[in-house]
Structure 1
Amino acid sequence: MSVTLTQRRPSMTAPKEEPKKALDTFGNEFVVPSYSIKDILDAIPAHCYKRSAVRSLSYVARDVFFIGLFGYLAASYIHLIPWMSGRVVAWFLYAFVQGLFGTGCWVLAHECGHRAFSESNAINDSVGWVLHSALLVPYHSWRLSHSKHHKATGHMTRDMVFVPKTRDEFLERRGVEPGTKITDNLEDAPIVTLYYVVLQQLFGWIMYLFTNVTGQKYPNRSKWVTNHFVPTSPLYDKKDFINIVISDIGIIATLTCLYLASQKWGFSTVALMYVFPYLWVNHWLVHITFLQHTDPRLPHYNADEWTFAKGASATIDRDFGFIGRHIFHDIIETHVLHHFVSRIPFYNGREATEAIRKVMGTHYQRDDSNFVTSLYRVARTCQFVEGDNGVSMFRNVNNIGVRPNLDQGQKLQ
């Protein structure tokens, strides 16, 4: 009788690599997420993807109605207020409210750019072009660069906007030799932080469109060519040429209307009715996007460590109460989901967010602190990033949290 012995082969399965870790700004341990984009997508109910042109257009109609209503009331009645101080207050309130609903229209055009507005790309592009052009936003130009941002969120060398400075870049901009040890004398006074915040809020959006500020650098191209209006800009591919031209035509059309209105009613009237609300829209846009991608808990990755799922989770949801939910169309409250699946319409965002939270677990980031004051707090806390294992976290020179240059495990007392 013969006996056959079977030798057990050693397992060929490689040991699972431990996820990398880092310390966030306040010294809390951050573990790089290990779930895949498939895990996220499988958790979202199928009906959340359904887009309704009728429903989306109803939100456009609502926002445009209120813009028209407040515009009519302002033009008809504010000049009747007998006191100068009363008229000043009324025009301020008008600009603020119009800025809110203008931002709502901006968000709906943003839905169009992501194809979340309707099943029809013709409707998406028509509505998006009109709404964005009316707000002096080059629709296709921004849509294309924004798409690249979504494809590389949190990537240090491929992301398209709010790319954080490295430690050496931050020091060099402050006129300090790169590699210099950060000491207390580099701390910013609160008024300096406020100054930078005001500059960002007043000019950030305009400078992004014209010079790609906070985006990737193109050393061989002029910053004035690296913008959203030049069809040959390095931001775009050759195939995008005609779309950039169409976007520019929309801007020219709006500027022409504003010029003709100034000729008929005077520039001061146009400034009160359009320019000041427009500045509020720009403020809210920068406020929203800055806080979506900047927080002490959020990582950034180098090329070797980055994946789409990691990058999409490197965003944060916040809360802006009634304004966020009913006027800004939940762009603040469901932004994490938006980076995983950008074609889910905003009115399905909350349900889909709850679904992906079960997969993300502790990696889902949300901050319910005051949305307005968070702008200053985050600006003071998150000035640059550093890290030596492919994962970079925010640091600052203001003695807040983990001090740069110190061992990763050491915190300020």
Structure 2
Amino acid sequence: MACSLADSGFLLKGNLHKPINGHRFVSLFPTGASYLTWEVLPQCKAKHRRFVIPLRRSKTVKSVASPVTSPFPVDGAQHRKELCESYGFRQIGEPLPDNITLKNIIDTLPKTVFEIDNIKAWKSVLISATSYVLGLFLISKSPWYLLPLAWAWTGSAVTGFFVIGHDCAHKSFSKNKLLEDIVGTLVFLPLIYPYEPWRIKHDRHHARTNMLKEDTAWQPVMKKHFEESPIFRRAIIYGYGPIRPIMSISHWLLWHFDLNKFRPTEAGKVKFSLACVYAFMAIGWPLLIYKTGMVGWIKFWLMPWLVYHFWMSTFTIIHHTAPHIPFKSSEEWNATQAQLNGTVHCDYPKWIEILCHDINVHIPHHISSRIPSYNLRAAHKSLQENWGKYLNEASWNWRLMKTILTTCHMYDKERNYISFEEVAPEISQPITFLKRVMPDYA
């Protein structure tokens, strides 16, 4: 074992697992080298000094306990490899140096990834429209036991509409900005999403990704909010546990229909978007119910909409949530680290990637939201070549989801997250249940 100190060196001898002043030192690694910083070393009482021999100021000193191999820091390759196995990741990126800027990263991307291609843009519309119509046909013809498959397809297809509107909101769909707003408004209508409120809210997410209080997407639970009332605590536990994969429904309802959340200068466009959604509901829903009955409304609209929210919730959670990804206060926040180190690339089955237009190739989108969805893979390949060691990457698996749903709950500055089981074990049965029943394979 080797110990690297910031300002001094020392030699450990004897039983390394014996507590010193109430602290136990156990290496995170099976053999080889570990690093300790002086800040985490407890002050040794006189009775423990027989275990410590002062040395000259030194960067690294050897212990008599075990052989020394090539040293690596606590966040070194071996540690990250172990975290990957534990969390269900394929790769956990190295910390990005403080002096790297978003411009440094953007400058390494090929200029072609920023180019808008009208043919590719309208091809994505054609894919989504065709897939959606096919899904509705499957719903109409499927026996009851095949309906879940038809809903899964149709809900995934309508998620593609969202991604097209997402490109429109980022001004990466067309060079004609009026056309973008029209297309964005129309493709959001089947989702009952008001385009302009969502665009404004989403821009704030990009400007403050993983900023503790300002990010408008998923955040850790704050202690003061959790302690407001017993009933509220139970609701939060369910919301961040078993029903988290569809909790974007509450986010949709609370964020997008409240005019008080928007500036007076934004109110005009927000009201227009809301009027479009209300008109769609007032005309489309009665027609659907008239033609197919209430059961038809559930079959053709509600169930695919719930599948869309499953993807909306799941995609968004995985994009920025993991035990090793911090949320930071505005004073400590670093934009480049948040966008590159704080964003996750996740691979899904091919049919989902096609229907959802590669929205989960998400790191380049946070480096620059001007990259159209059809260029995200080329941009990600460039990032892998130039910045690959800093990237967080995964393929969707049960261990990844289990880690998020059972661990990533309450904010803690030192540990990033604390599980509800730790802070409120008496009411955390939903989390215990998930740990017991969810598969654990990666």
Distance 1:359 1:290 in 2: 26
SS of residue in 2 equivalent to 1:367: strand
Distance 2:182 2:215 in 1: 27
- Once the two structures are aligned, what percentage of the paired residues are identical? 22
- Which of 338, 344, 347 aligns to 1:316? It is 344
Alignment match, 1:396: 419
Please say which structure displays the higher CA radius of gyration.
2
Distance 1:201 1:32, change over 3 A: same
Alignment match, 1:276: 303
Residues 41-80 of structure 1 aligned to structure 2 (within 5 Å): 41-75=106-140, 77-78=141-142
Asked if residue 112 in structure 1 is aligned to residue 140 in structure 2, the reply is no
Alignment match, 1:326: 354
User: Which TM-score applies when normalising by structure 1?
Assistant: 0.73
Contact 1:22 1:393 in 2 (8 A): no
Question: Larger relative CO (CA 8 A, sep 6+): 1 or 2?
Answer: 1
Deviation per CA, 1:299-330: give whole Å up to 9, x if none. Answer: 21111221321221211111102034211111
- Structure 1: segments with no counterpart, 5+ residues: 1-20, 79-86, 178-187, 212-226, 400-413
- Structure 2: segments with no counterpart, 5+ residues: 1-72, 87-91, 423-442
Contact 1:165 1:383 in 2 (8 A): yes
Residues 148-297 of structure 1 aligned to structure 2 (within 5 Å): 148-167=204-223, 169-170=225-226, 196-202=240-246, 204-211=247-254, 227-231=255-259, 233-234=260-261, 236-256=262-282, 257-297=284-324
Distance 1:165 1:73 in 2: 40
Q: Which moved more, 1:55-64 or 1:136-145?
A: 55-64
Distance 2:238 2:250 in 1: 19
Distance 1:42 1:240, change over 3 A: same
Residues 91-110 of structure 1 aligned to structure 2 (within 5 Å): 91-110=147-166
Q: AA paired with 2:187?
A: L
Distance 1:29 1:138 in 2: 36
Asked if residue 141 in structure 1 is aligned to residue 197 in structure 2, the reply is yes
Shift of 1:359: 4.4
- Which of 94, 97, 100 aligns to 1:33? It is 97
Shift of 1:383: 1.3
Deviation per CA, 1:360-407: give whole Å up to 9, x if none. Answer: 34321111251x55323311121123226xxx62332557xxxxxxxx
Contact 1:194 1:376 in 2 (8 A): no
Contact 2:156 2:352 in 1 (8 A): no
Alignment match, 2:62: none
Distance 2:237 2:207 in 1: 31
Contact 1:109 1:128 in 2 (8 A): yes
Count of residues in correspondence between the two structures: 335
Q: AA paired with 1:58?
A: K
User: Which TM-score applies when normalising by structure 2?
Assistant: 0.69
Distance 1:368 1:29, change over 3 A: closer
Alignment match, 1:340: 367
Q: AA paired with 2:353?
A: R
Distance 2:352 2:138 in 1: 24
Contact 2:160 2:356 in 1 (8 A): yes
